[in-house]
């Protein structure tokens, strides 16, 4: 059994993933924070940032494990099975355990929460798109 475990958050934007992650008390690697650090602002999820933000996230996760943490949270939507498989395969390659933590908040609630978010004009329709794309967590 692996001694290091990555808790991979799964859910729509504004579902409460970050709040749930904070409640664990474990160190958190947040894709939103990585992209904010890279660009200086909250931004639309642009596909060209996946590879770069994934690379940063991997280094951050590995460094937290190397620093002695047994559990780390990866805070991102991971709504597609292909994204969850990507992280599960990475964990397997490094002999880390992993668990998926689903925050199953209804789309309408997420959209209502997004209305209070600056520049939500792109986020509200994106939440609906992601809800329809959402792959069941196995």
Give the residue with greater pLDDT, 33 vs 51: 33
| Model confidence at 1: pLDDT above 80 | no
The model's confidence at residue 138, banded by pLDDT at 50, 70 and 90, is: confident
Give me the count of residues in the chain.
138
Q: Is the pTM of this model over 0.85?
A: yes
Residues 92-106: pLDDT tens digits?
999 999 999 999 999
Predicted confidence at residue 42, as pLDDT, reads 59
Query: How many CB atoms within 10 Å of residue 99?
Result: 11
Question: Strand, helix or coil at 64?
Answer: helix
Structural domains of the chain, with CATH? 5-133 (3.40.50.300)
What's the per-residue H, E or C state across 19-60? HHHHHHCCCEEEHHHHHHHHHCCCCCCCCHHHHHHHHHHHHH
Q: State the Cα–Cα distance between residues 26 and 69, nearest whole angstrom.
A: 8
């Amino acid at each position: 059994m692996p001694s290091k475990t990555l808790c991979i958050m799964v859910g729509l934007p504004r579902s409460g993933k970050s709040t749930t992650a904070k409640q664990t008390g474990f160190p958190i690697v947040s894709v939103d924070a990585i992209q904010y650090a890279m660009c200086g602002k909250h931004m639309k999820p642009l596909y060209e940032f996946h590879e770069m933000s994934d690379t940063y996230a991997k280094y951050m996760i590995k460094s937290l494990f190397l620093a002695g943490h047994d559990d780390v949270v990866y805070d991102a939507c991971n709504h597609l099975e292909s994204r969850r498989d990507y992280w599960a395969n990475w964990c397997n390659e490094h002999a880390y355990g992993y668990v998926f933590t689903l925050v199953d908040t209804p789309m309408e609630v997420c959209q209502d929460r997004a209305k209070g978010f600056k520049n939500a004009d792109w986020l509200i329709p994106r939440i609906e798109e992601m809800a329809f794309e959402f792959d069941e967590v196995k």
